[in-house]
A = this chain, B = another copy of it.
Amino acid sequence: MHICYIIAMEAEAKPFILRFGMKETEKYFSPLPCRLFQYKDTALNSTLSIVTLGRQHERDLVGCEAASVATLAAIERLKPDLIINSGTCGGWKRKGAEIGKVYVADSVMFHDRRIPGDDEWGTQGLGNYSVWKRSTDIATKLGVEMGRVTTGSSLDLQPCDEVIIEREGGELKDMEGAAVAFVCSLLNVPILLIKSVTDLCDDSAPTLESFLKNLKIASENLSEANASLLKLLL
């Protein structure tokens, strides 16, 4: 089995790369900036790949376009059996979120692609992509809650986003999940999403400050959860 993780930022991937002693395959995606780290278990006939989005404008790339590029490039080159999008997200205290808490997604959609006036285009804009059918079983075995992930291209949260998130029952807000799931939907590759909370949208702390402060603990918890997840899968 070949499992390929799409992870936006190096900091989110690092604890994972260290834990498995994964090696970088240099220039694999060149000239794309995506980076590939791999671990092969020949006895189990398994390959674990981590693809990060790479850098531009002096920062790790984040967001939906870079995630679309990395996912397409990863699927076409690596032909994985499963894509896992692992990353950090925002949550809401009133919906039970806490800093560092890990979730598996039960569904994923966009919250900032509004096409008002046409039902079909409206539906296409929001997306609503399916997750891997084993997601529920895996959440149960990991002992983590499931949540509805909604994706937007901005770190902040505008009133128009809140309207859609509330209406659609969104519980976890990220910046890549639905883009990864969209590309998987085009190519019929199953996707599982696992997310850890870095900031609380109904808290008064500034989003970026919370994000950076909590990135390490959230990434470590995510790394622990991913290690347990891989024990189940490989």
Q: Pick the contact of A155 from B59, B116, B186 — CB < 8 Å?
A: B116
Within 8 A of B (CB), among A61-83: 61-66, 68-69, 72-73, 76
Interfacial chain B residues near A183, Cβ < 8 Å: 65, 69
Do B65 and A65 have beta carbons less than 8 Å apart?
A: yes
Decide if A202 is an interface residue (CB 8 Å cutoff): no
Q: State whether A114 and B156 are in contact (beta carbons under 8 Å apart), knowing that A56-B185, A120-B59 are contacts in the complex.
A: yes
Within 8 A of B (CB), among A141-186: 153-156, 158, 160, 179, 182-183, 185-186
Number of interface residues of A (CB under 8 A): 48
Within 8 A of B (CB), among A13-59: 31-33, 56-59
Do A124 and B59 have beta carbons less than 8 Å apart?
A: yes
Do B63 and A113 have beta carbons less than 8 Å apart?
A: yes
Do A32 and B153 have beta carbons less than 8 Å apart?
A: no
Interfacial chain B residues near A160, Cβ < 8 Å: 158, 160
Q: Pick the contact of A116 from B123, B156, B188 — CB < 8 Å?
A: B156
Decide if A12 is an interface residue (CB 8 Å cutoff): no
For the complex of A and B, the 10 pairs showing the least CB-CB separation, nearest first, are A117-B208, A57-B124, A114-B154, A68-B68, A113-B153, A58-B120, A59-B120, A65-B68, A115-B155, A158-B160
Q: Given A61-B124, A65-B65, A76-B76, 16 more contacts at CB 8 Å?
A: A32-B186, A56-B186, A62-B124, A64-B64, A64-B153, A65-B183, A68-B68, A68-B72, A69-B72, A69-B183, A114-B153, A115-B208, A116-B155, A116-B156, A116-B208, A158-B158
Can you name 16 A-B pairs with beta carbons within 8 Å?
A: A57-B120, A57-B123, A57-B124, A58-B123, A59-B118, A59-B120, A59-B124, A63-B125, A68-B72, A69-B186, A112-B154, A114-B154, A115-B208, A116-B208, A117-B207, A121-B208
